[in-house]
Structure 1
Amino acid sequence: MSWMLNEEQRLIQTTARDFATGVLAPQAAALDATGDPEILKSHLRQLAELGFMGLNIDEAYGGADVGTVSFSLAITELARACASTAVTVSVSNMVAEVIQAIGTEEQKSRYLPQLCAGEMYGGSFCLSEVGAGSDPAAMKTRAVKEGEDWVLNGSKVWISTAAIAGVFVVWAVTDPEAPKGKGISCFLVPANTPGVTVQAAEKKMGQKGSGTHEVLFTDCRLPADALMGAENQGFKIAVTELAGGRIGIASLALGVAGAALDYARDYIQERQQFGRPLADFQGLQWMLAEQYTEMEAARLLTLQAAMLKEAGQPFATQASMAKLMASEKGNQACYVALQLMGANGYMQDYPLERYARDIRVTSIYEGTSEIQKVIIARDLLQG
């Protein structure tokens, strides 16, 4: 397995880095402070023009088709400047990949070009419910067949960027008599469908520029062709796609933690105490060395998972390992970086407090760290 990036991957990485530095970084603090959707929309339009809203989507549908490794590199670079934009790009790419993987030709031709071109600002992944977060198979949302149509009722929570999404991928119980997890189907629901209500954005600790919403479905009548994939087989789809999404979140954590460590490293080289730069003190040097080493290990785990997925090999356990390592060690890295800056790290005049808030949720969404450990242990014990 080669760890050297090819020319296309380096180009994607450089393009993402330049965009993050030139466009995202100057507006990241304002987006965090105001949650202004127009700022985010502007970012997404420009990223669509660069091909970043369909990184792993076939060119026939308007995608860039550059693979999972390039996707991971891009998310990392975007997250170094703005985690709110990066998570929106990651989730929308995941939605597009679901449609490409199991959608009909008509579904793919209808939605993928709009997602890739930015005609829709993004898509939302509607799986979690109040009583079905880490246990999504316990969902209560129902879709009932009436003639040729489906009627959808229920609610989904913690849905990223729902207020500006153009389409929702929604999971619902279609056979309540089936064993748990066996009677769930997947539907494509346009955002303008009658009966769809997006509630006000939640008040969050971090990633405030990416709205998180409850979405209500009240007597939503869907045509037969809204069903995606086989009836009652939707839960397997969700589990598969969540594994891919974990590569995105691991990549995001790498970006935020990397930005935090770099900022703290530069700071302690300039800040003086006791007549010399803080960087001259061995204790602080060791703190940096430990954090950079752990994040490098997380980066390699993430690239391994991305390479396996791109090669069509089993990757779910590796994706869980990558997300566990990147999110947990990334949280630690941000807090160490903040500590290195002392009181200034705690002030909003510096970006460390935003990095620390933004990275916290990476060990929660797309499966908590505890769930990742369950997945990893299950694989180990089953041999």
Structure 2
Amino acid sequence: MDFGLTDEQQMVQDMARNFAEKEIAPYVEEDEKNHYYRREILTKMGELGLLGWTLPEELGGNGMGWQEGCIALYEIAKVHTSWRLAISGNNWGPAMTINEYGTQEQKEKFIPGLLEGSLVGSFAITEPNTGSDVASMKTNAVDKGDHWLINGTKTWISGGHTCDVGLLYAVTDKGKGNKGISCFIIDYNNTPGVERIPIHDKVGMWAAPTSELIFENAVVPKENLLGELNKGFFICMWQLNNTRMGCATGAAALSRACLDGAVQYATERMQFGVPIGKHQMIQAQIAEMIIEDEAAKQLCMRAAWLKDNGLPSQQAVSTAKLAGCQAAVHGANLAMKIYGSYGYSDEYPCGRWLRDSKQFETLEGTSNMHQQIIANIELGFAPNR
């Protein structure tokens, strides 16, 4: 087993690291303070091919796979967690799902813009009373002959009020549970009947826009149905097994940011005449962070390798997501302890790390749900897709 990077992967890592340091790092604290989203960063990512992983070159893909995508996302999210959403929101969410289930016309209309960054993407699943239980959603789409009429509310949608195009999951056959849900492509700039409301009161992810979407007799063209009618639940689960790679990688990257920061501080901060890193309790905390961080990163790369090779990956993705979440939350807590009183100050990034880490416990499947997925597959109660 080779744990090294190929020349091409090393190139990807260097490019993503340089981009993050040049284009994202200078604005992190300003954007956090102002809760500001810089759309131009997404466009620049598209220009460099950082949104084109796993998709065909004829549609704007970059010809590289999951492993390369995770390597790039890791470098970006390590600098600012909010920007890990760009790859999931454009690439591994809408673009990849449209490529898998869409018509040729849908692919040509939407995918190139999503990959070049001229379009901002999103996907809408969660509702005020629908989280882990996707089949309980109430947003509905009614066939009106020449169009669909959509009514309902989605909430906690990443990029919901800033996006141009997104996937929407809605009920098309009431009373059939997960067998009555369909997926639609929404052109938000040309769809009447949609109100998009920013959600500002969040614990973290302040530079990543989050929204509530209200559909009131929204008119959607018939040709914007994605895949087969009433097959939306299956499409949704397929999509989540891809976008969760973004969660897993982003969590692992945040864990690494906490570790790097704690190590730097522990070598600079002096107490009792020596750097605090010389004290055994600090060393024990650093060691804990290293173990969890390395495990999270390797589990991400294993899941990416499985996906690149067309092998069942659902259990591996959930394992990587859960491990990354635990490493990020624990790493942020330990970093704040190591920084001491300064960790509680806005002078250092510990508060941001801790706020941002908590998202991973609920986003795209709670930790409880991922424990169930992992265990049910291992016990043979569910297939590993």
Q: TM-score, normalised by structure 1?
A: 0.96
Matched position secondary structure for 2:89: helix
Corresponding position of 2:293: 295
Q: Which amino acid aligns with 2:86?
A: T
User: 1:45 Cα shift?
Assistant: 1.4
Report if the CA contact (8 A) 1:338-1:346 is conserved.
yes
1:35 aligns with 2:32: no
Corresponding position of 1:375: 373
User: 1:4 Cα shift?
Assistant: 2.8
Q: Which amino acid aligns with 1:114?
A: G
1:5 aligns with 2:5: yes
| Structure 1 alignment gaps of length 5 or more | none
Superposed, 1:7-22 pairs within 5 Å as 7-22=7-22
CA distance in 2, matches of 1:204, 1:51: 31
Corresponding position of 1:185: 182
CA offsets per residue over residues 19-51 of structure 1, 9 Å max, x none? 1112211111111111223xx212111111111
CA offsets per residue over residues 161-212 of structure 1, 9 Å max, x none? 112211010011111132x201110000101211111112231111111111
Corresponding position of 2:196: 198
Corresponding position of 2:263: 265
Matched position secondary structure for 1:36: coil
Q: Which amino acid aligns with 2:247?
A: I
User: 1:105 Cα shift?
Assistant: 0.5
Report if the CA contact (8 A) 1:251-1:302 is conserved.
yes
Q: 1:235 aligns with which of 233, 236, 260?
A: 233
Matched position secondary structure for 1:181: helix
- Give the root-mean-square deviation of aligned CA atoms: 1.2
Matched position secondary structure for 1:131: coil
Matched position secondary structure for 1:313: coil
CA distance in 2, matches of 1:240, 1:367: 13
CA distance in 2, matches of 1:41, 1:330: 26
CA distance in 1, matches of 2:218, 2:12: 40
Report if the CA contact (8 A) 1:185-1:232 is conserved.
yes
Report if the CA contact (8 A) 1:171-1:234 is conserved.
yes
Q: 1:65 aligns with which of 46, 53, 63?
A: 63
Corresponding position of 2:26: 26
Q: Which amino acid aligns with 2:289?
A: Q
CA distance in 1, matches of 2:175, 2:284: 58
Q: 2:220 aligns with which of 200, 206, 222?
A: 222
Q: 1:332 aligns with which of 311, 330, 333?
A: 330
Corresponding position of 1:102: 101
User: 1:321 Cα shift?
Assistant: 0.5
Corresponding position of 2:81: 83
Moved more, 353-362 or 4-13: 4-13
- TM-aligned CA distance change 1:280 to 1:177, over 3 Å: closer
CA offsets per residue over residues 287-343 of structure 1, 9 Å max, x none? 101211111011111111111111111101110010001111211011101111101
Q: Which amino acid aligns with 2:286?
A: L
User: 1:158 Cα shift?
Assistant: 0.6
1:210 aligns with 2:208: yes
Moved more, 343-352 or 3-12: 3-12
CA distance in 2, matches of 1:97, 1:109: 13
Moved more, 184-193 or 28-37: 28-37
Corresponding position of 1:310: 308
CA distance in 1, matches of 2:200, 2:136: 23
Report if the CA contact (8 A) 2:90-2:115 is conserved.
no
User: 1:12 Cα shift?
Assistant: 1.3
Matched position secondary structure for 2:198: coil
Corresponding position of 2:143: 145
1:277 aligns with 2:256: no
Q: Which amino acid aligns with 2:98?
A: I
Q: Which amino acid aligns with 1:200?
A: P
The percentage of aligned residue pairs carrying the same residue is 36
Report if the CA contact (8 A) 1:185-1:235 is conserved.
yes
CA distance in 2, matches of 1:145, 1:202: 34
Q: 1:161 aligns with which of 138, 159, 162?
A: 159
Q: Which amino acid aligns with 1:81?
A: V
User: 1:2 Cα shift?
Assistant: 3.6
- Runs of 4+ aligned residues of structure 1 deviating over 6 Å after TM superposition are none
User: 1:133 Cα shift?
Assistant: 0.5
CA distance in 2, matches of 1:81, 1:204: 20
Matched position secondary structure for 2:61: coil
Matched position secondary structure for 1:155: strand
Q: 2:122 aligns with which of 121, 124, 141?
A: 124
CA distance in 1, matches of 2:258, 2:76: 14
Report if the CA contact (8 A) 2:152-2:214 is conserved.
yes
Q: 1:322 aligns with which of 290, 309, 320?
A: 320
Q: Which amino acid aligns with 1:326?
A: G
Q: 2:53 aligns with which of 45, 52, 55?
A: 55
CA distance in 1, matches of 2:60, 2:200: 33
- TM-aligned CA distance change 1:216 to 1:65, over 3 Å: farther
Q: Which amino acid aligns with 1:182?
A: K
Matched position secondary structure for 1:25: helix
CA offsets per residue over residues 241-268 of structure 1, 9 Å max, x none? 1111111111101111111111110111
CA distance in 1, matches of 2:323, 2:20: 24
